[in-house]
Structure 1
Amino acid sequence: MLDVRVLIVTYGDVRDPKGGYLIRVSNLIKCIKEEDLKVIQFITEGRGKEKPIKKSDENIVTIRASKNYFFLGLSLLFNAIKFSYLIKRSDVVIFEGSLFLPFGLMGRLLGKKVIHDFHGSIVEVSRGLRGVKNFVLRKMIGGTLDKLAVIIANLTIAVSDRDAELVKRIWKRAKVMTVVHGIDVDRIPFFEVKRDKIEKLIFAGNLYAVNNLATVENLIEVAKDLPCLEFLIVGDGKELVKGPPPNVKLMGKVDSLDPYYEEADACIIPITSGTGVKTKVLECMAYGRPVITTEKGIEGIEEARSLKGVYVVRLEEMSKVIKEMKLERAYLELRSFVKDNFSVSVTCRQLRKALEFI
């Protein structure tokens, strides 16, 4: 544990971490003593029948966030001033992504050490996505926020060495260190593969994230080529998928991924946009499932490319590779790789070095 008072500013409920962003934040929180930690979290109202927003508790301040970007921006500015007393009581302010730039700026004005947790370039995330809204919000405004966040912070931490290089491209004088995107491997059960040939594949992800929805569209094209195989899509937002073929099963949001990974023979992650280390790839490996993905899917974890059970292919080759794959019973090497390189203990060790650096 780290002996320093830390304020973390983030989006989403850290008490219910779903998706790569919040898993990242919740793991950083595990590295800090409870008595030394404060969290300010902005949460939008849930969609459909999701749970209502939880109230604040002793260490967590919960703020309702507008879905309108203009009003959200005003709220961030207002609350950075309103909660300046929490910043004053902290030694370090960590803001989770350039959206929370006002808190980083307030931290610097109050003489605090400020860390920008770089969750990936907003411009990089937008590559492959189309539309005027994407261009204005992500490429123009998002790109500007990314640069300002890197300039204002005493230190930027990135989830991989590749993302650290992206930070340097944003601003050459940036101080940046890698703090890996870890997952809690000990809480993920390891399952042996039940079959010799693939019959069922899984993709797990929140489909309200534009990159995940685009990935599912790619998956559907693969599924059309393989009508005898079953494809499980697990995650919130299933209503966004229009007209999937009969062999694509939309499971929606579930309480636990465990039974679905146990049922599946392999993971399919045909992602072509986005940035940062992909949590779903690490999770798949930790569960002991071989993963079929793209160059984009393996970014930040390139060392895994040589492992048995990791298939990095082009989209047009994916169907052929799946047809020809011969499965092994236990992919222990995949789980060991994640535990040795991307566990929470590795994250905490690197975060400690970052705090000592500033």
Structure 2
Amino acid sequence: MKMKIGFVMMESIYPQRGGIHEQVYLLLRELHRRGYDAEIVAYSKRNVDQKGRRLLWLRQNSPAFISKISKYDIVISETVWPIIPSLISSKIFHKKCILHLHSIESKQDVGLSLLGKSIITFFEKLSVFCDIILVPSKIEQKLLKSSKVKILPNIIDIEAFNLYKPIELKRPAVVFVGGMGYPPNREAAEFIVRISEKLKNMGKYVNFYLVGPSPPKVSPPVYTTEYVESTIPFILSADICIAPLKRGGGVKLKVLEYMAAGKPIIATKKAVEGIDNIKYINAETEDEFINGIVEILSGKIDLNFTENKDIILKNHTSFVAGDILEKIIKDL
């Protein structure tokens, strides 16, 4: 009989779309396919259109939640936010505890307040009591400098690319995806609005699509979608995908999805951190992004972006991550 595995989350959002929530869902699905009894155990649950409850990081340290976690043979704390109930339960009931970090929030600028950064720094120090620490790339591995650290690459739902068709967009179409309530994505969206204005002033009409919730107010040729069931139809339809991120942590799922579609990518170095051998055009300033867009649309870029599909299949699928996680579980 295979062991029972619990993915512990401070909060679970339904439907699981994007970020940590999608990563957990994909790992859970892969473990189920391999015959494991795995579940998400979340202190709080909400729909994607509902506001989150306050002080969850404190409320979750309840005896009832700690007891709920105890039924699992292996506890996987998803981020450090639920590390205290995960560790308490694993130590009291003699279970194994894995910490799954999607970024190093105290050392990578993800938009936390000073209080949030202080709390997360304390939580990260507790990682020494975990049996294994999982990180998405060599970037985070170097930041932690611990023998307990192993790389579990971020993954995307490759199967979903066969379920959707391109959506009709105005041409040419430049696409950016991401929840814009997250400060780094919000800043990127505002950056894109400025790019659009500059292109209009140059007499070049390019359509930009900000795909995701909480976008800024815009006007044509910039368009917003709010929350969508899937970003894939927009990515499949894009002439160019961009990621003008200036800060943030972890391997960016939006970039992995751009790669899986084989689309031309213009991005900052920050946006592609942790992704080996990616084919993309680097741009950091507004003018560099504009130049990249103009050159791609005029056919002046000789770069085979479709090679990125092979990188995804080799390193960033559920099957690949499932092999790595299963070996870690068996070796505990």
1:16 aligns with 2:2: no
Question: What is the correspondence of 1:86-101 to structure 2 with a 5 Å cutoff?
Answer: 86-101=68-83
1:166 aligns with 2:143: yes
2:61 corresponds in structure 1 to 77
Question: What is the correspondence of 1:257-268 to structure 2 with a 5 Å cutoff?
Answer: 257-268=231-242
* Aligned partners of 2:12 and 2:46 also within 8 Å: no
Deviations 1:1-45 (A, max 9, x none): x93211111245466221121121112212323661232124465
Alpha-carbon distance change, 293 to 93 in structure 1, aligned in 2, over 3 angstroms:
same
Q: Which runs of 5+ in 2 are unaligned?
A: none
Alpha-carbon distance change, 260 to 279 in structure 1, aligned in 2, over 3 angstroms:
same
1:25 aligns with 2:11: no
1:314 corresponds in structure 2 to 284
1:68 aligns with 2:68: no
Deviations 1:113-160 (A, max 9, x none): 100001111123436x5xxx712212x222221222x21211100111
CA distance in 2, matches of 1:234, 1:136: 30
CA distance in 1, matches of 2:102, 2:160: 23
> Aligned match of 1:323 in 291, 294, 297?
294
1:61 corresponds in structure 2 to none
Question: What is the correspondence of 1:150-189 to structure 2 with a 5 Å cutoff?
Answer: 150-168=127-145, 173-189=146-162
Alpha-carbon distance change, 155 to 276 in structure 1, aligned in 2, over 3 angstroms:
same
CA distance in 2, matches of 1:109, 1:175: 21
Deviations 1:181-229 (A, max 9, x none): 111212214989x9xxx82100111112222112212222222222211
Alpha-carbon distance change, 102 to 187 in structure 1, aligned in 2, over 3 angstroms:
same
Question: What is the Cα deviation at residue 357 of structure 1?
Answer: 3.2
1:59 corresponds in structure 2 to none
Letter in 2 for 1:136: L
Q: Say which SS state the counterpart of residue 323 (structure 1) adopts.
A: helix
Question: What is the correspondence of 1:1-358 to structure 2 with a 5 Å cutoff?
Answer: 3-13=2-12, 16-33=15-32, 36-43=37-44, 45-46=46-47, 50=49, 67-69=53-55, 72-78=56-62, 81-106=63-88, 107-126=90-109, 129=111, 134-138=113-117, 140-148=118-126, 150-168=127-145, 173-189=146-162, 199-227=172-200, 228-238=205-215, 241-242=216-217, 244-304=218-278, 307=279, 310-316=280-286, 317-325=288-296, 326=299, 331-358=305-332
Q: Which runs of 5+ in 1 are unaligned?
A: 53-64
Deviations 1:74-96 (A, max 9, x none): 32111xx2144443332110010
CA distance in 1, matches of 2:313, 2:285: 29
* Aligned partners of 2:178 and 2:254 also within 8 Å: yes
Alpha-carbon distance change, 44 to 236 in structure 1, aligned in 2, over 3 angstroms:
farther
TM-score w.r.t. structure 1 length? 0.80
TM-score w.r.t. structure 2 length? 0.86
* Aligned partners of 2:10 and 2:57 also within 8 Å: no
Q: Percent identity, please.
A: 24
1:62 corresponds in structure 2 to none
Letter in 2 for 1:230: N
Q: Pairwise CA RMSD of aligned residues?
A: 2.8
Q: Say which SS state the counterpart of residue 272 (structure 1) adopts.
A: coil
* Aligned partners of 2:10 and 2:60 also within 8 Å: no
* Aligned partners of 1:21 and 1:119 also within 8 Å: yes
Letter in 1 for 2:28: I
Alpha-carbon distance change, 191 to 311 in structure 1, aligned in 2, over 3 angstroms:
farther
